Amino acid sequence: MEALAAWQEQFKQETGQQEEPGQPAENTQQEHNTIVQPAPGKAVSPESAIHDAAWLQKRDPHHYTVQVIAAHEPASVTRVARRKDLPEAKAIYRKTGFSRRDWYVLLYGDFPSFREARAAMSALPEDVRAYSPWIRKLSDVQDDLAAP
């Protein structure tokens, strides 16, 4: 838990993100699905933004996304998400997995078809493809977000 708090603080400092009023406290039931959000007031194009759970939940469940990387270390995922050569929209969420160990997951893009997702995955930089990305249906991601 301390590592998460330290990472969130570092992310806020690096991006200028401030907590917004009305945000849930850290130790709520929503904790297992923490999403990295873009800094308020920063100019961010929709294609390159790092989105939150609300964005993921609003996506068409029949669409596809590419899971680029999942890691126990949030800084690893954030570093990949901030790359300038990943032009599609991105989202990071935290999921508590087996043995109550947290996973930080980077999703890339919202594609209407499997074919488009596969093309985007094939176009990823070689060093990013080394993470063995895979295609997921957004309905599966939305199920992850809704899981207790």
Average pLDDT, the chain: 76
Gap between the Cα atoms of 134 and 11, Å rounded: 26
For position 97, what pLDDT does the model report?
75
pLDDT over 50 (residue 127): yes
For position 2, what pLDDT does the model report?
53
Range with top average pLDDT, 35-39, 94-98, 124-128: 124-128
For position 17, what pLDDT does the model report?
41
pLDDT tens digit sequence for 43-92? 444 556 788 878 999 999 999 999 999 999 889 998 999 998 998 899 98
For position 94, what pLDDT does the model report?
84
Output 56 or 28, whichever has higher pLDDT: 56
Range with top average pLDDT, 1-15, 36-50, 99-113: 99-113
Residues in Cβ contact with 139 at an 8 Å cutoff, skipping those fewer than 6 apart: 61, 62
Rounded to the nearest angstrom, the gap between the alpha carbon of residue 126 and the centroid of all alpha carbons in its chain is: 20
For position 6, what pLDDT does the model report?
53
For position 133, what pLDDT does the model report?
98
Angle, vertex CA 65, rays to CA 36 and CA 41, nearest 5? 30
pLDDT over 50 (residue 18): no
